[in-house]
Structure 1
Amino acid sequence: MIEQASPAGIRLQGVSAVMQDRNRGEIVAVRNVDLQVEPGELLTLLGPSGCGKTTTLRMIAGFQEPSGGRIFIAGRDVTHVPANARDIGFVFQNYALFPHLTIFGNVAYGLEVRQWSTADIRRAVDEVLELVGLAGFGERLPNELSGGQQQRVALARAIVIRPRVLLFDEPLSNLDAKLRVSMRGEIRHLQQTLKITTVYVTHDQEEAMAISDRIAVMEAGKIAQLDTAEALYRRPTSAFVAGFVGRANLLHATVRSVADGVATLDVGGEMLLMPADGVPASGSAVNVVIRPESIAIGKSGQGPAAVVQARTYLGDKIEYEVAFGGQILTVVRFNPAGDEAVLPGSVVSLDIPAANIRLVAADD
């Protein structure tokens, strides 16, 4: 087994990235970000294109200097330290393999630069190729391997140098859906085996939820929310986070009353009940999030009324679009085999448990 160096924590303190564009002027890619990555943790930067996640990763790596703030790795200020002196491994989106070198040569390259002995290089490369499932592939060229195998080579090259920090920039985006699921499991297993501090960038929320200890959801160069996958899904703090991490219904409502620990919300004349914690005074306009799977459709007259607008059968589930209080909700019913079909035009009642209604801040 590779003798891994002790994991290093990462700290970003007020880090910003400002760029100048000839036509658009000043562009702020990252805005005053504070972030702590614990030793041995896998933290994912998640967000849409242009939110600043890759720029943040590049600043951690040393490929781009921040315009402001400081970056620490293992307590050492590396803000102005070049990438090759930061003790990191980096896995690129496009693999960045040398096409003229064998798989062995690609993986050995970093060790040769560090002037390891031939025997130690041979031992380390053979060991890491076995670790990533490529034992016996050393004499092949990159173009003789599949996309998934090339990604394993890129991963082997990053970890063979025994870095204290491992960075991934959208590493699975070039793979098909089935292979992505397989590879993300392998990456997570390897990270846990080596106990290496890892920062992972992706725009795929399912991928982030599957592999991460914590997720930093980024929006417009800032961290909108940092938490575990479960907390982000169950307790989003903004409409943006709720909509980006999973699917969500965002409703605009008015607080009708708050009494005895229960808040009554008015949604276009229909009433919803939710826990009163954090709900403002009567008359306040609020935004609430309800996950599609938290809503059940029942017979008319048993709860708040809605009208089915569309029905989509997807095998393991049925998705409905329903009009409720002047707004449209998505409702998901899983395992629908044998259920009576609820057709468009049907008047139904919605069963929405109070605990599944979440108050969120509106987007700016």
Structure 2
Amino acid sequence: MQDRNRGEIVAVRNVDLEVEPGELLTLLGPSGCGKTTTLRMIAGFQEPSGGRILIAGRDVTHVPANRRDIGFVFQNYALFPHLTIYGNVAYGLEARQWSSADISRAVDEVLELVGLAGFGQRLPNELSGGQQQRVALARAIVIRPRVLLFDEPLSNLDAKLRVSMRGEIRQLQQRLQITTVYVTHDQEEAMAISDRIAVMEAGRIAQLGTAQALYRRPASAFVAGFIGRANLLRATVRRVADGVATLDVQGETLTMPADGVPAAGSIVSVVVRPESIALARSNTAAAAVVQSCTWLGDKIEYDVMFAGQTLNVVCFDPAEHETILPGTVVSVAIPPTAIRLVAEG
């Protein structure tokens, strides 16, 4: 890709990805990481400078978007404002020269499938945001595509409706068994709907796996921080023996399984999830001091100063911890199995 002011720009580099039939795979990452560019290349809206794109074994790298057998759900819905809901959904079928009877039957079926039976004669501006999103989805699946593509489809909806719609999209995708590639920057959304997630960073896939694998076994500090919340600690390896590694973190000692830990004296990065840390009042020397606490009903979130840095801690038993307030001296307990060695970056 060329920019007249900055020269060549590499938006996506060496992405090698295979999506299984019937799978919902999410491209997850921050703005500018290449996820939407990757989706647009799959769709045919942008041509790659190298490599190939295959759909069901067919090379479509240079095939126009309207001949790739894909359905696309846009971020802004892209509905035709002058057409009725029926007209919007029927548009792709009319372009394929289906008969009027077949179009009518297919549109009625898909509107019922997305919960919009009886809405055919309304205009888009007469519908809520969630209903417009259902129309966009109906229009994408009515053509019976081989691949369904989503580009940040829920970003314009409020928080409660996003949760509801992501569940509907997932249920519908599983029911129809359409191979799907879904783009989002929302980690919770990605974890809720995906069979697998490809976390993208700077135009590359940083890690690919299930939500559970990415959360429990992140390959890097970047992935750990993007999938859920994470505390990143720099430590010095003090000892590795008998399957246990002893780490020094600013004078505090932590232990973890020795698998993959380098020799004593090495500097390493480790990740600890907030919910893995236990707090208790301490009558001894200040192991840690609570800086802030936020009560959220079913949990309390703490910021705790430990070993010269702030740890985020989540406690899911508020009744037992609500007397631990800012300024409280606490002890910090981190199970060895909760500490993960990660690559930096």
Give the Cα–Cα distance (whole angstroms) in 2 for the partners of residues 286 and 344 of structure 1: 30
Consecutive unaligned residues of structure 1, counting only runs of 5 or more, are 1-18
Of 338, 341, 344, the match for 1:359: 341
Query: 2:105 maps to which residue?
Result: 123
Say whether 1:336 aligns with 2:318: yes
Q: For each residue in 1:204-246, what CA deviation from the matched residue of structure 2 results, as whole angstroms up to 9, or x when unmatched?
A: 0000000000000000000000000011111101000000111
8 Å CA contact 1:303, 1:351 repeated in 2: no
Of 95, 98, 104, the match for 1:113: 95
Quickly say closer, same or farther: Cα 1:302–1:279, change in 2 above 3 A: farther
Q: Secondary structure at the match of 1:134?
A: coil
Query: 2:226 maps to which residue?
Result: 244
Give the Cα–Cα distance (whole angstroms) in 2 for the partners of residues 301 and 68 of structure 1: 63
- How far is the alpha carbon of 1:312 from its aligned partner? 2.2
Query: 2:65 maps to which residue?
Result: 83
Q: Which residue identity is paired with 1:310?
A: S
Q: For each residue in 1:331-350, what CA deviation from the matched residue of structure 2 results, as whole angstroms up to 9, or x when unmatched?
A: 11113025451222222211
What pairs with 1:208-287 in structure 2 (closer than 5 Å)?
208-287=190-269
Query: 1:134 maps to which residue?
Result: 116
Say whether 1:326 aligns with 2:324: no
Q: For each residue in 1:179-214, what CA deviation from the matched residue of structure 2 results, as whole angstroms up to 9, or x when unmatched?
A: 000000000000000000000000000000000000
Give the Cα–Cα distance (whole angstroms) in 2 for the partners of residues 230 and 350 of structure 1: 25
- How far is the alpha carbon of 1:30 from its aligned partner? 0.2
Q: Secondary structure at the match of 1:32?
A: coil
| Identical-residue share of aligned pairs (%) | 84
- How far is the alpha carbon of 1:306 from its aligned partner? 1.5
Q: For each residue in 1:4-60, what CA deviation from the matched residue of structure 2 results, as whole angstroms up to 9, or x when unmatched?
A: xxxxxxxxxxxxxxx111222211100110001000000000000000000000000
Query: 2:146 maps to which residue?
Result: 164
Q: Secondary structure at the match of 2:51?
A: strand
Q: Which residue identity is paired with 1:271?
A: T
Query: 1:102 maps to which residue?
Result: 84
Query: 2:125 maps to which residue?
Result: 143
8 Å CA contact 1:303, 1:349 repeated in 2: no
- The structure that is strand-richer by fraction is 1
8 Å CA contact 1:253, 1:288 repeated in 2: yes
RMSD of the alignment, in Å?
1.3
Give the Cα–Cα distance (whole angstroms) in 2 for the partners of residues 344 and 179 of structure 1: 35
8 Å CA contact 1:309, 1:322 repeated in 2: yes
Q: Which residue identity is paired with 2:95?
A: V
Q: Which residue identity is paired with 1:248?
A: A
Q: Which residue identity is paired with 2:112?
A: E
Say whether 1:63 aligns with 2:49: no
8 Å CA contact 1:271, 1:304 repeated in 2: no
TM-score (norm. length: structure 2): 0.98
Q: Which residue identity is paired with 1:184?
A: R
- How far is the alpha carbon of 1:301 from its aligned partner? 6.5
Q: Secondary structure at the match of 1:112?
A: helix
Q: Which runs of 4+ in 1 moved over 3 A?
A: 301-304
TM-score (norm. length: structure 1): 0.93
Q: Secondary structure at the match of 2:182?
A: strand
Consecutive unaligned residues of structure 2, counting only runs of 5 or more, are none
Give the Cα–Cα distance (whole angstroms) in 2 for the partners of residues 297 and 280 of structure 1: 29
Say whether 1:153 aligns with 2:135: yes
What count of residue pairs does the alignment treat as equivalent? 345
Give the Cα–Cα distance (whole angstroms) in 2 for the partners of residues 239 and 57 of structure 1: 25
